[in-house]
Structure 1
Amino acid sequence: MLTYELTSRDLEDVRFAISPAAETVLSLRALRDPGRFPLQLPWVRAVQPQLAGLDWSLLSLLVNDTMGSPDFLTPRPTSPLTQFQDELEIIAAVDRTTFDRQLVAVNRELPGELAGSDGVSRVVDALREYWQTVMAPYWPRMRTVLSADISFRGHAITQHGTGVMLNELGPAISYQDGLLRVDRVSNPSRTERIDGRGLVLQPTLFGPHAVIPFDIGAEPLLGYPPRGQGNLWTVAEPPSRRDLGRLVGTARARILELLTHPRTTSDIAAELKVTPSAVSQHLQLLRRTGLVDPQRTGKQVLYRPTELAALLTGTDLLMSKVPRELTPEWAERATDQGVADR
């Protein structure tokens, strides 16, 4: 058991985040021992044909028999909008001392395959290929479930308080009188203080009960099972173009198809050979229904599909990534205040 000690100030600083890198590394657990992850068996079956082309001998060194992984592979995320490439850059920058020490802690020795000077780069390359092959095609659907859970927990905090929300994270997690207890995760048991460092709560599909840092004293992090994952794989395939057109309208369905990369109203209008005002009306409805996000860059407002739209259309949200310096909150305020897009 791990027990986190939280002051009232620590409770106020609890935050949520999503980590594509953590989901990537933790998903190795499901491939190593599928019986422990019954809800993810459809994904395990779907990716089996692709595993032969991966460096599985190296990837298997990143998770031990008790499902432990080096912490440098799962850097603590800071936002629900974290991107895999950003985290991969953090992993690539790990110092050699930490790399060796954490691999030894997990494997009881430094694996010979990773002992050379190219050990870090080999891990990064293997993870990048693994992500592109077995995670990225399914990530929009996974992220939708994770994001929806964070939204639910946020409402729970607003209505009932942080303490009540913590008590509802999962059967292995309980909170009372400043003590957050996480069962089934650490042997021997240990107690750690948050001490103003901030507790990050991270929904993960590959717990299955809870996830904590491997290192004692690491930055406070708790992975927990998200709501709704039982229905994650119930939709076998995305709707056809005809079905999508019936649902949202032919014009709006076509706009969603065009958003393989961020586009302006004028760009979309030129593509469809209609007026910008006509496109703007469709985009405003798509925005209000949560299918597109407007984001400001310079004098332009770019539109990109949301996770919900990616799930609906069966497209890869990574293809429409907006530069990291843009924030949805700023763009939405700009749009609401009548800033013209060009």
Structure 2
Amino acid sequence: MLTYVLDSEDLADVRFAVSPVAEMVLSLRALRDPGRFPLQLGWVRAVQPKLQELDWDVLRWLVNDTMGSPDFLTPRPTSPLTQLTDELDIIANVDPDTFNEQLAAVHGELPEGLSTTTVVEALKHYWQTMMAPYWSRMRTLLSADISYRGHVLTQYGTGAMLNGLGPAITYADGLLKVDRVAAISRTEKINGRGLVLQPTLFGPHAVIPFDPGADPLLGYPPRGQANLWSVAEPPSHQDLAQLIGTPRARILDLLTHPRTTTDLAGELQVTPSAVSQHLQLLRRTGLVEPQRIGKQVLYRPTELAALLTGTDLSR
């Protein structure tokens, strides 16, 4: 068990984040022992044909027999909008002494031939092969859970929100207790460092840092996982066009990168006002969002749109 001690200032500084690289590293647990992750068997089955393409000479050292991983592989995220490339850059620049010490602590030995370069390259290949085709669906669920927890926090308070994170997590009188995570119990004070709450699909009960004294982080199981893989494939273009209309489906197709109304009008050979009407409807229904850069307003698809179209927003 891990017990985090929070004072009133710590409770006010609790924050949420999503980590693409943590989901990737933790997903190795499900491949290693699928029986512990029944809610993710849909993903495990889907990626089975691709397992032989991966660099297991490196990947097998990223999680040990008890499902522990070096903390440098899961840098504490700072935002629900954390990008994979930023996290891989952090891993690539890990101090060599930290790299060696944490690998040795997790495995009891230092693997030969491993470096930050080989680890990052193996993870990049793993992401494109195993995670990218499914990440929009995963991230949408994780983001939706954060929105729900935020609602609970504002309506009922931090204590109620913490007590609802999962069966292995309980909070009372300044003590946040996390069960089923460590053979040796420990107690750590937050001491103003901030507690980051991170929904993760590959807990399954909770996730904590491997090293005692690491920056406070708690991974918890998000709501709605039972239905995550109920739809095997995104709808076809024809299905999407019937749902939202052909012009609006075409606009979503064109938003492979942020674009202006004028740019889209040129592509579609219609007037900017016609495109603007479609964009406003797409915005009201949560499928696009505006981004102002100087005097220009660019539009990009939301995670909901990415889920509908099967687009990977992480690239």
TM tier, shorter chain? over 0.9
- Do structure 1's residue 61 and structure 2's residue 61 form an aligned pair? yes
Q: Tell me the residue number matched to 2:30.
A: 30
User: What is the SS of the residue equivalent to 2:218?
Assistant: strand
Aligned residue type for 2:2? L
1:42-81 → structure 2 map (5 Å cutoff) = 42-81=42-81
Q: How far apart are 1:260 and its partner, in Å?
A: 1.1
Deviation per residue, 1:275-315 (Å, 9 max, x gap): 11111111111111111111112221111111100111112
Rounded Cα–Cα distance in structure 2 between residues aligned with 1:243 and 1:125: 37
Is 1:95 matched up with 2:95?
yes
* Structure 1 letter corresponding to 2:111: P
What one-letter code is carried by the residue in structure 2 that aligns with 1:145?
L
Amino acid at match of 1:163: G
Q: Which residue of 2 aligns with 1:256?
A: 252
CA distance in 2, matches of 1:256, 1:127: 30
Q: Counterpart of 2:146?
A: 150
TM-score by length of 1: 0.91
In 2, Cα distance between the equivalents of 1:270 and 1:30?
47
Q: Are the equivalent residues in 1 in contact too, given 2:5–2:174 (CA < 8 A)? A: yes
Deviations 1:123-173 (A, max 9, x none): 111011101111111100000000000000000001100100000000000
Structure 1 range deviating more: 32-41 or 244-253 = 244-253
| CA offsets 1:302-337 (integer angstroms, 9 cap, x no match) | 111111001111122235xxxxxxxxxxxxxxxxxx
Distance 2:113 2:58 in 1: 7
What TM-score comes out, normalization by structure 2 length?
0.99
- State whether residues 84 and 314 of structure 2, in contact with CA within 8 Å, keep that contact through their aligned partners in structure 1: no
Q: Which runs of 4+ in 1 moved over 3 A?
A: none
Residue 77 of structure 1: how far off its partner (Å): 0.2
Deviation per residue, 1:46-67 (Å, 9 max, x gap): 1111111111121011100010
Matched residue SS, 2:113: helix
Could you tell me which of 293, 296, 304 is aligned with 2:292?
296
- Measured in 2, the distance between the counterparts of 1:228 and 1:302 equals 32
Q: Using the alignment, how far apart are the partners of 1:318 and 1:183 within structure 2?
A: 33
1:236 positional shift: 1.5
Counterparts of 1:75 and 1:238, CA distance in 2: 31
Bigger shift: 230-239 or 189-198? Answer: 230-239
Partner of 1:84: 84
d(CA) in 2 for partners of 1:138, 1:218: 30
1:14 equivalent to 2:6? Answer no
Identity of aligned residues (%): 77
Unmatched 5+ residue regions in structure 2?
A: none
1:266 match? 262
Match of 1:176 in 2: 172
Distance in 2 between residues matched to 1:224 and 1:239, nearest whole Å = 30
Secondary structure of 2:23's partner? Answer: helix
Amino acid at match of 2:191: D
Structure with greater contact order relative to length (CA < 8 Å, sep ≥ 6): 2
Which of 194, 217, 220 aligns to 1:224? It is 220
User: Which of 93, 110, 126 is equivalent to 1:130?
Assistant: 126
Q: Secondary structure at the match of 1:62?
A: coil
d(CA) in 1 for partners of 2:296, 2:141: 31
* Count of matched residue pairs: 315
Distance 1:179 1:286 in 2: 44
Out of 314, 318, 340, the position equivalent to 2:314 is 318
* Cα pair 2:133 2:310 within 8 Å, conserved: no
Distance (Å, rounded) in 2 between the aligned partners of 1:130 and 1:300: 37
Tell me the distance in 2 between the aligned counterparts of 1:191 and 1:304.
44
Letter in 2 for 1:285: L
- 2:187 paired with 1:191: yes
